Amino acid sequence: MFKRALPFSITKRGVFALVGTLLMLMGTTAPLVNAAATTQNTAKVSFTFDDGLASALNNAAPVLAAHGLTGTDYVITSCIGMTVLAGNNSCRADNTKDYMTSSQIQQLHSQYGWEIGSHTVTHPQLAVADGAKDGSLPGGAAQVTSELTQSKQTIAGILGAAPSDLAFPYGDYDNNALSEAAKYYETARGFADLGYNTYPYNQSLLVNEQIQEGKTVGTIKGVTYAQAKAYVDAAIAGNQWLVLTFHNISTTTPTSADDYSTSTALLDQIAAYVQQQQAAGKISSVNVTDGITRGTDLMANGDFASGIANGWTTDSATITADSGNNGRYPEPTHSVSLKTAAGATTEGHLYSPQVAVTYGQQYILKNYVHMLSGGSVNFYIDEYDAAGNKLTGVDPKAGMAYTAVANGVNVSDINFTYTPSSATVAKAALQVIVKGSGTQAYYDGAQWLNPDGSTVVVPPTTKAGDANGDGVVNIKDATLVSLNWGKTGMTRAQGDLNADGVVNIKDATLVSLNWGK
């Protein structure tokens, strides 16, 4: 940590001069980070990049850094270090591009604050039938598991921490791939699944919008800035989470209709717009791991490591504890097997422990369900007063029905919100309801979250970048940022310009962009 004024002239050196100098002086001790992660129902955007291409470090990271943003890169581990020049590029994804080395992946993570996720080992089609058809999955279902686990181990060896997020190669999956991914990763992102993620999100399959300037995909004839801007605007309007997916980032504008590339110029335009909307408090830019709903978990034994115990009960002999590795990350070994007999006309129930609740507080309930056959799994919330008397209760209108349709999805996180229905309610409990003849499903990952109160970026009440309140953004403001770099709990006057709780590159960026104003 240095304790002196930064060596700037008083005149503006260019729009990103301050950011560049701060990074040069502080090296990797001050990684770029996004806006404070928010678990609330607010608009979010994530910049994600597939494959682990060298262009993520060389071209994308500096562009996002200039706007105080970071990204999530999903790496194909068998392709690490492959380059065209070395003649060793046999990567299935694209053998015409260079891939990052292990040290470059470390640099992207430590210097630029990017999240590193998994994109499997060899980039196969993970739907068993599809992988068999194109020859990319000769090991079948066993290879699906090894692709997911071995890529995770490789990245853990590079970074010292295992990745928690996965992107399906080609956006290809079946129910086996979805359930396997849920065992080893907190989130999985599709590619062909277009759209916006609605709070509190289905982490088992995040949808996205593709940003490919050159590629023609269906009716999309190459994404323009206007289209990308519209994606951001729609996320803001709907309070949704927009996940943008990029591949190669090129310094020139791609012209081939079959090129999964985007120019640095277009990426810069998108990043600038996100930065503008973030500064206005309309959207929060987050890495994928920071986008999901988090909080204090009030539910006992929601991972069922102790079986159906610790307050969990059932009224059905066919609802039993399972230890066959059919559950959800991070503890998939244990779950609950939900079954009904063939011809069954009565419901079976799994009851959770009672949770103390507060009127006016919104809670988030997370549930993982893997349907194998039969009818449906639904949810109901029982409410109780302080004396323990049962009240009417609340139907969250949430559940999942088995679909026998070809390629139908039967694996999902069923997450929903709950607010006590009246001031009389002191406790509540969850019912998991199993219906239909011959129903079979696995249930896991039960969480009852009291949101942790993380905040989005607060729009400045004074001139952006003016830390000391003297009406001009200059070297005095840069000095305040540098002197308190990395500190938490600082005020605006101490350099925390965006009020996210830490003095970092986002604050330096605000100074840079408003220099001399």
- Whichever domain contains 179, its CATH number is 3.20.20.370
Do 281 and 315 fall within a single domain?
no
Do 122 and 190 fall within a single domain?
yes
Do 274 and 304 fall within a single domain?
no
> What pLDDT, in 10s, does the model give residues 324-362?
999 999 999 999 999 999 999 999 999 999 999 999 999
**Would you say residue 384 lies in a domain?**
yes
**Would you say residue 51 lies in a domain?**
yes
Q: What's the structural domain count of the chain?
A: 3
**Would you say residue 456 lies in a domain?**
no
Percentage, residues of the chain above pLDDT 90: 73
Domain boundary among 420, 451, 482: 451
Do 445 and 467 fall within a single domain?
no
**Would you say residue 324 lies in a domain?**
yes
Q: Which residues contact residue 419 at a Cβ distance below 8 angstroms, ignoring those fewer than 6 apart?
A: 360, 361, 362, 363
CA distance 430 to 424: 18
Do 156 and 73 fall within a single domain?
yes
**Would you say residue 97 lies in a domain?**
yes
Do 447 and 337 fall within a single domain?
yes
What's the token pair of residue 260? 């999964």
Do 367 and 260 fall within a single domain?
no
- 386 — alpha (psi -120 to 50), left (phi > 0) or beta? alpha
Domain boundary among 271, 291, 311: 291
CA nearest to 205, candidates 400, 453, 363: 400
What's the token pair of residue 142? 């066993």
**Would you say residue 328 lies in a domain?**
yes
* CA quadruple 20, 22, 28, 32: dihedral sign: negative
Do 71 and 2 fall within a single domain?
no
What's the token pair of residue 244? 């943008």
- Whichever domain contains 476, its CATH number is 1.10.1330.10
Prediction pTM value: 0.80
> What pLDDT, in 10s, does the model give residues 442-490?
999 999 999 764 332 223 335 677 877 667 888 877 877 887 888 876 6
CB atoms within 10 A of CB 486: 13
Report residue 24: phi and psi, to 5°.
Answer: -65, -45
- pLDDT for res 37: 40
Longest dimension (CA), the chain: 81
What's the token pair of residue 226? 């206007």
Which residue's entry shows tokens 């959770």?
352
Do 166 and 270 fall within a single domain?
yes
Q: DSSP letters along 103-146, please? A: HHHHHHHHTT--EEEE--SS----SHHHHHHHTS-TTHHHHHHH
**Would you say residue 212 lies in a domain?**
yes
Q: Which residues contact residue 226 at a Cβ distance below 8 angstroms, ignoring those fewer than 6 apart?
A: none
Burial 399-424 (b: 16+ CB within 10 A, else e): bbebeeeeeebbbbbbbbbbebeeee
Find the domain containing 373 and state its range.
295-451
Domain boundary among 451, 473, 504: 451
- Whichever domain contains 418, its CATH number is 2.60.120.260
Which residue's entry shows tokens 């519209």?
230
Which residue's entry shows tokens 């630029």?
112
Do 47 and 158 fall within a single domain?
yes
CB atoms within 10 A of CB 461: 7
- pLDDT for res 158: 97
Do 197 and 259 fall within a single domain?
yes
**Would you say residue 457 lies in a domain?**
no
- pLDDT for res 366: 97
Do 213 and 316 fall within a single domain?
no
Residue ranges, the chain, pLDDT below 50? 1-39, 453-461
